[in-house]
Structure 1
């Protein structure tokens, strides 16, 4: 279900040269079975590990000598673990649904200037809940005259959530930067981080054999997040590329075609506003 088919999309490696996915000559159906087996085995192991963690924390909560701050910390850890499990299953199932070929783009009318406002707030809350408030969330938006566009906002949000979670998992300190800029016919979104996951993320994004990539990096969450993001970008008719950000951080950019709502004119202002959340 997770095998990516169709046209390959160029991406940039550390030297700045373009690389493309190569045809390995392996039967795509065989690769699909191999990856599904790897994913299901990985999900089984992940679920057991996380459930054991939840059970242990729940047992500790029964200790009547716990002070309130400790109790709150355990509750937050249980909540965070449950959210991780739910997200893993949701992303896997969403990817399987995309593979059926049934989903179609569902465009909504959105204002260009506040397209990601709700998502930025969500990301700040995620940093707080996961105890990673030391990571700075940098948000960038391109100012222009207010106009409306047709875009599949729900799936764009889903892509950015996957990329943000991947950056969060691979970043212990520094920053995660997300934003977008536009032209008349498309909007380009990006998520950059100062973490350590560039090589792993590049592998999952560009590989033709995700089962093999999983055997190299053993990171199920990143594999599922990156695979779903890639599939949704392709579903929306978009393109993507990855660059090394700094020493070993990741920078993923993807562009989605959009349509202007009639009777709206665009005057692009190249000034970019940067907001660093505390």
Structure 2
């Protein structure tokens, strides 16, 4: 028979308990969960060590306060309700918030148990800290709400885009068809052509907005600082919008310039600055029916402070926080009235941030809106040859031969039509291999318009091959792609310049005049 000493050796790590009730005392004392025992008046009778560690009080301190004092301010207000719950027959677990001695708060799940001690009711409360779980639940809830909102915005955006695209497309398709009808007058032809051009421009703006927001999301827009004439940018924008307003017999637009002479040459990203102003002016034009639009800039604390002010419908208070959000417009129904993608202001804000600037606005309903943004003023030196004479395309060419590398029949017809009547000869190739062959065999070529996406060999491969043998032959890349890096890829391949589709006649003729090889 095994001795008691032998038995004790097997259980040397066990806590020795002599009475059954001591088991419960030890459970109370050693529990990892905080436990508080209190009476119906919320006087604290006893607590375990875990409770002291959680709340940060000494045993004497916590015995001197009531359970109410352990709750956060918001829970103290409901103390009577808590007491009434405690008096109910069936008490279930509930969630509440507590406040520690140092003032910090935490969420907890409390499970109370009712006992009678010497015929007096007491409450034995288990406390489980669930702060991390609550925070995770809040994050999950916020994520679900954001997902729902994104779905709502996506649905609204798709519906709006369908309308925005189909409306001008209907005009393009419809009036293009009408141009082929017999007995159509010259006056009607001009009017139809004008409508087609206007609707096509609108479609281009929509596509550019979508491309721009995609490039911003992908981080593909990089700041490229150059020296340029600020007034030239502002005056060109003024000319565009002034002509547009005059043609519609609407209100006028005013431009304010503040830098004299050479001081208006600045160092910044001209494309991004033009994009910001273009979107802000387009927004002002859209929402202003009467009065005027004014834009310009002022210098303050080494900053260029730009402004675009209008006398339009204004922005209601409940929409001001979301006005820069994507696919949002000042009123939920505003897109139905005024159209647009709801991307313009989001793009403007992103571009301002890319320039390390700040954008804000002031607005009053039915009075107008003023948008402001500021960027650092860095003065640049005038660029020699920057003041070019205006090109009308009818002088400067002397029957030079241009090779147009273009595989699309309609695009070639368009380019060929653009260049007719300007004393230029045009020859066409369809594939990259044919382009190389024609360029290397024809010594009369003065310039190549190179489409980047062609069969057999692409435009960049063809350019590199041609320039190995004819390094002085100017090649201008023409492409339907419009993402960050496309221009750089073309220049690295050896192209002297780059033009994106759709191509405007004036821009094309400028590039040809600038780069054509004169023997």
User: TM-score, structure 2 length as denominator?
Assistant: 0.40
Structure 2 SS opposite 1:146: helix
What is the aligned counterpart of 2:375 among 256, 262, 266?
A: 256
**Kept after mapping to 2: 8 A contact 1:204/1:226:** no
Secondary structure in structure 2 of the residue aligned to 1:237: coil
> Which residue of structure 2 lines up, in the alignment, with residue 243 of structure 1?
362
The answer for the alignment partner of 1:39 in structure 2 is 157
- Ranges in structure 2 where 5+ consecutive residues have no aligned partner: 1-140, 382-519
Q: In structure 1, how many angstroms separate the alpha carbons of the residues matched to 2:318 and 2:310? A: 13
Q: Describe the SS at the equivalent of 1:106.
A: coil
Change (3 A) 1:190 1:134: same
Over 3 Å counting, the alpha-carbon distance change for 1:193 and 1:205 in structure 2 is farther
Structure 2 CA distance, aligned partners of 1:71 and 1:60?
9
- Deviation digits for residues 237-267 of structure 1, max 9, x if unmatched? 11112112684322111111232348xxxxx
SS in 2 for 1:104: coil
CA distance in 1: counterparts of 2:218 and 2:165, whole angstroms = 25
Structure 2 CA distance, aligned partners of 1:222 and 1:178? 23
SS in 1 for 2:220: coil
Distance change in 2, residues 1:213/1:117 (3 Å): closer
Identify the structure with bigger relative contact order (alpha carbons < 8 Å, sequence gap 6+): 1
Question: What's the RMSD between the two structures over aligned residues?
Answer: 3.2
1:120-149: CA deviation from partner (whole Å, max 9, x where unpaired): 223223335xx3243211111114463232
**What is the deviation of 1:155?**
0.7
Aligned length: 235
1:142 aligned partner? 258
Structure 1, unmatched stretches of 5+, are 1-24, 263-278
Q: Distance in 2 between matches of 1:221 and 1:255?
A: 25
CA drift of 1:95 comes to: 1.4
Residue number in structure 2 paired with 1:18 = none
How far apart, CA to CA, are the structure 2 residues paired with 1:248 and 1:202?
A: 16
Check 1:163–1:208 CA distance in 2 against 1; reply closer, same or farther (3 A cut). closer
What does 1:1-278 correspond to in 2, within 5 Å? 26-27=142-143, 30=147, 34-112=152-230, 114-128=232-246, 131-144=247-260, 146-147=262-263, 148-183=265-300, 185-196=302-313, 198-199=314-315, 203=319, 206-207=322-323, 210=326, 216-219=332-335, 221=340, 223-244=342-363, 247-261=366-380
Change (3 A) 1:149 1:51: closer
Q: Which secondary structure does the structure 2 equivalent of 1:116 belong to?
A: helix
1:75 deviates by 1.9
Deviations, residues 208-249 of structure 1 (Å, cap 9, x unaligned):
865575881352516111111111112211111211268432
- Structure number with greater Rg is 2
- Offset at residue 161 of structure 1 (A): 0.8
